Structure 1
Amino acid sequence: MIVGVGTDLCSISRLSEALSRTPALKERLFHFSEHSLPINSLAARFAAKEAIAKALGDPRLLNWNEIALSKDSNGKPEFEFFGATKERLDALGYRYLVSISHEQELASAFVVVEAS
Structure 2
Amino acid sequence: MIVGIGTDLCVVERFEAMLERRPGLLGRLLTPGEQELSLPSQAARFAAKEALAKALGSPGGMRWLDCEVTKSEVGVPSFVATGTVAARIAALGISSIHLSISHDGGYATAMVVCES
TM-score normalized by the length of structure 2:
0.89
1:30 equivalent in alignment to 2:30: yes
Q: CA deviation at 1:96?
A: 1.0
- 5+ residue gaps, structure 2, are none
| Residue of structure 1 in register with 2:101 after alignment | 100
Contact 1:4–1:113 (Cα < 8 Å) also in 2: yes
Q: Percent identity at matched positions? A: 46
| Residue of structure 2 in register with 1:41 after alignment | 41
Contact 2:44–2:110 (Cα < 8 Å) also in 1: yes
Q: CA deviation at 1:23?
A: 0.9
Contact 2:56–2:88 (Cα < 8 Å) also in 1: no
TM-score normalized by the length of structure 1:
0.89
| Residue of structure 1 in register with 2:114 after alignment | 113
Distance 1:92 1:3 in 2: 8
| Residue of structure 2 in register with 1:78 after alignment | 78
1:38-91 residue CA offsets vs partner (Å, 9 max, x unmatched):
110011111111111111113325211121111123311000112333244244
- Cα separation, partners in 2 of 1:85 and 1:4, compared to 1, 3 Å: closer
**Aligned residues between the structures:** 115
- 5+ residue gaps, structure 1, are none
- Cα separation, partners in 2 of 1:59 and 1:31, compared to 1, 3 Å: farther
Query: CA RMSD, aligned part only?
Result: 1.5
DSSP 3-state at the match of 2:69: strand
Contact 1:61–1:88 (Cα < 8 Å) also in 2: no
1:62 equivalent in alignment to 2:59: no
Distance 1:16 1:34 in 2: 15
Deviating runs (4+, > 3 A) in structure 1?
90-93
